[in-house]
Amino acid sequence: MKRLPAQKGMLHYLVSKVRPDIGRTIEKTGVIETIVVGLGAQGTRHAGLMQEFGTNVTAGIAPGRGGTRIHETVPVYDTVKDCLEEYPNIVAASIWRHYSTARDATVEVIESGIPLVLLITEGIPLRDVRDILVAARRKKTLLLGGNTPGVIFPPEGIKIGMLPNVFYPEETSPGVFGPHGVTIVSRSGAILYHMSDALASAGIAQNAVLGIGGDGAIGSTFQDLIPLVMGYKNTELVVLAGEIGGSMEETLAQNIEKNRHLYPKPLVAIISGRHAPEGKTMGHAGAIVSPGQAYGTFESKKAALERAGVDVVNSQYELIDVVGSKLKGKKYFQTERYYEKMRETWEAKPKKRGWGTLITKVAPNTLMVSGYLLQDLIEKASFLETAHLLIKGELPDKQVLEEHRRRAFEASQIEAPVFSWSDSDDISKTLASFLLLDEHVAKFPQAGKDGPVQKAVFAIGRFARYLARRLGTESALNGADADEPFSAIVSRAISGNNIVDPHYARMLEAMIVASVDHGVTPPSAQATIIAASTRAAYEVAVAHGIGAITDVHGGAGAKAAEFFRRCTAESRQEGISIDEATRSLMSEYVKAGRRIEGMGHRIHTDDPRRDTLWKLARECEVAGDSVAVSKIAGAVFEQVKGISLPINVDGVIGSIVADMGLGSSVAKALFVYGRLAGLSAHYFEEIATQPQMRRINFAEAVYRGKELRTFPRGR
**What's the closest the beta carbon of residue 163 comes to other proteins, in angstroms?**
7
Nearer to other proteins, 127 or 328 (CB): 127
Rule CB under 8 A: say whether 36 interacts with other proteins: no
Applying CB under 8 A, the span of 62-70, 104-112, 293-301, 486-494 interacting with other proteins comes to: 293-301
Task: Figure out which of the listed residues 15, 92, 210, 218 binds other proteins, where binding follows CB under 8 A.
Answer: 218
Task: Give the span between the Cα atoms of 492 and 481, in whole angstroms.
Answer: 11
Rule CB under 8 A: say whether 294 interacts with other proteins: yes
Rule CB under 8 A: say whether 100 interacts with other proteins: yes
631 membership: H or E segment, kind and range: helix 625-641
Rule CB under 8 A: say whether 678 interacts with other proteins: no
Nearer to other proteins, 198 or 411 (CB): 198
Task: Figure out which of the listed residues 185, 244, 490, 701 binds other proteins, where binding follows CB under 8 A.
Answer: 244
Nearer to other proteins, 191 or 617 (CB): 191
Q: Is residue 388 annotated as part of the catalytic site, yes or no?
A: no
DSSP-derived 3-state class of residue 418: coil
Rule CB under 8 A: say whether 55 interacts with other proteins: no
Applying CB under 8 A, the span of 73-81, 277-285, 376-384, 647-655 interacting with other proteins comes to: 277-285
**What's the closest the beta carbon of residue 187 comes to other proteins, in angstroms?**
7
What is the DSSP code string of 520-559? S-SHHHHHHHHHHHTT--HHHHHHHHHHT-SSSSS-HHHH
Nearer to other proteins, 347 or 423 (CB): 347
DSSP-derived 3-state class of residue 150: strand
Positions 177 through 216 that interact with other proteins (CB under 8 A):
186-194, 197-198, 201, 214, 216
Task: Give the span between the Cα atoms of 339 and 692, in whole angstroms.
Answer: 42
Task: Figure out which of the listed residues 117, 276, 310, 653 binds other proteins, where binding follows CB under 8 A.
Answer: 276
439 membership: H or E segment, kind and range: helix 439-443
Tally of CA atoms within 13 A in the half-sphere of 372 that contains its CB: 23
**What's the closest the beta carbon of residue 698 comes to other proteins, in angstroms?**
26
Nearer to other proteins, 239 or 622 (CB): 239
**What's the closest the beta carbon of residue 214 comes to other proteins, in angstroms?**
7
Tell me which DSSP letter residue 334 carries: -
Nearer to other proteins, 191 or 480 (CB): 191
**What's the closest the beta carbon of residue 222 comes to other proteins, in angstroms?**
10
Task: Give the span between the Cα atoms of 313 and 288, in whole angstroms.
Answer: 20
Binding mask 479-498 for other proteins (x = CB under 8 A): --------------------
Q: In degrees, to the nearest 5, what angle opens at C-alpha 409 toward C-alphas 406 and 410?
A: 85
Distances in Å between the alpha carbon of 702 and those of 360, 362, 364, 528, 705? 10, 10, 14, 18, 9
Applying CB under 8 A, the span of 162-170, 517-525, 605-613, 700-708 interacting with other proteins comes to: 162-170
Nearest to 172 by CA among 208, 196, 207, 135: 207
Asked whether the beta carbons of 227 and 172 are under 8 A apart, the reply is no
Rule CB under 8 A: say whether 442 interacts with other proteins: no
**What's the closest the beta carbon of residue 154 comes to other proteins, in angstroms?**
15
Nearest to 269 by CA among 303, 245, 219, 295: 303
DSSP-derived 3-state class of residue 464: helix
Catalytic choice (284, 388, 544, 682): 284
**What's the closest the beta carbon of residue 606 comes to other proteins, in angstroms?**
40
Strands in 584-632 per DSSP E: none
**Which residues lie across from 296 on neighbouring strands?**
none
226 membership: H or E segment, kind and range: helix 222-230
Amino acid symbol at 259: N
Rule CB under 8 A: say whether 176 interacts with other proteins: no
Rule CB under 8 A: say whether 248 interacts with other proteins: yes
User: How many residues lie near other proteins (CB under 8 A)?
Assistant: 76
**What's the closest the beta carbon of residue 627 comes to other proteins, in angstroms?**
56
Positions 330 through 389 that interact with other proteins (CB under 8 A):
339, 342-343, 346-350
Rule CB under 8 A: say whether 53 interacts with other proteins: no
Nearer to other proteins, 220 or 473 (CB): 220
Task: Figure out which of the listed residues 317, 472, 569, 588 binds other proteins, where binding follows CB under 8 A.
Answer: 317
Nearer to other proteins, 300 or 375 (CB): 300
Nearer to other proteins, 133 or 457 (CB): 133
Rule CB under 8 A: say whether 140 interacts with other proteins: no
Q: In degrees, to the nearest 5, what angle opens at C-alpha 79 toward C-alphas 75 and 84?
A: 70
Nearer to other proteins, 128 or 539 (CB): 128
Asked whether the beta carbons of 118 and 88 are under 8 A apart, the reply is no
**What's the closest the beta carbon of residue 85 comes to other proteins, in angstroms?**
30
Nearer to other proteins, 58 or 147 (CB): 147
Task: Give the span between the Cα atoms of 625 and 97, in whole angstroms.
Answer: 66
Rule CB under 8 A: say whether 619 interacts with other proteins: no
Task: Please provide residue 261's backbone torsions phi and psi, each rounded to the nearest 5 degrees.
Answer: -65, -20
Task: Please provide residue 26's backbone torsions phi and psi, each rounded to the nearest 5 degrees.
Answer: -60, -40
Asked whether the beta carbons of 281 and 157 are under 8 A apart, the reply is no
**What's the closest the beta carbon of residue 333 comes to other proteins, in angstroms?**
15
Residues whose CB is less than 8 angstroms from the CB of residue 294 and which lie 6 or more positions away in sequence, other chains included: 300
Three-state SS string over 79-90 comes to: CHHHHHHHCCCE
209 membership: H or E segment, kind and range: strand 206-211
| CA dihedral sign, ordered 357, 363, 368, 374 | positive
**What's the closest the beta carbon of residue 322 comes to other proteins, in angstroms?**
14
Task: Give the span between the Cα atoms of 412 and 465, in whole angstroms.
Answer: 5
Task: Figure out which of the listed residues 28, 127, 351, 591 binds other proteins, where binding follows CB under 8 A.
Answer: 127
Applying CB under 8 A, the span of 72-80, 287-295, 474-482, 541-549 interacting with other proteins comes to: 287-295
Rule CB under 8 A: say whether 293 interacts with other proteins: yes
What is the DSSP code string of 479-500? T--TTS-HHHHHHHHHH--SSP
Rule CB under 8 A: say whether 150 interacts with other proteins: no
Task: Give the span between the Cα atoms of 242 and 251, in whole angstroms.
Answer: 12
Task: Give the span between the Cα atoms of 463 and 597, in whole angstroms.
Answer: 26
Nearer to other proteins, 201 or 605 (CB): 201
**What's the closest the beta carbon of residue 204 comes to other proteins, in angstroms?**
12
Task: Give the span between the Cα atoms of 229 and 222, in whole angstroms.
Answer: 10
Q: In degrees, to the nearest 5, what angle opens at C-alpha 72 toward C-alphas 70 and 75?
A: 55
Rule CB under 8 A: say whether 576 interacts with other proteins: no
Rule CB under 8 A: say whether 292 interacts with other proteins: yes
**What's the closest the beta carbon of residue 147 comes to other proteins, in angstroms?**
10
Task: Figure out which of the listed residues 285, 387, 510, 514 binds other proteins, where binding follows CB under 8 A.
Answer: 285
Applying CB under 8 A, the span of 64-72, 125-133, 399-407, 697-705 interacting with other proteins comes to: 125-133
Applying CB under 8 A, the span of 230-238, 292-300, 429-437, 537-545 interacting with other proteins comes to: 292-300
Distances in Å between the alpha carbon of 524 and those of 388, 542, 628? 20, 9, 30
Rule CB under 8 A: say whether 51 interacts with other proteins: no
Task: Give the span between the Cα atoms of 11 and 116, in whole angstroms.
Answer: 10
Nearer to other proteins, 320 or 537 (CB): 320
Catalytic residues, by residue number, are: 284
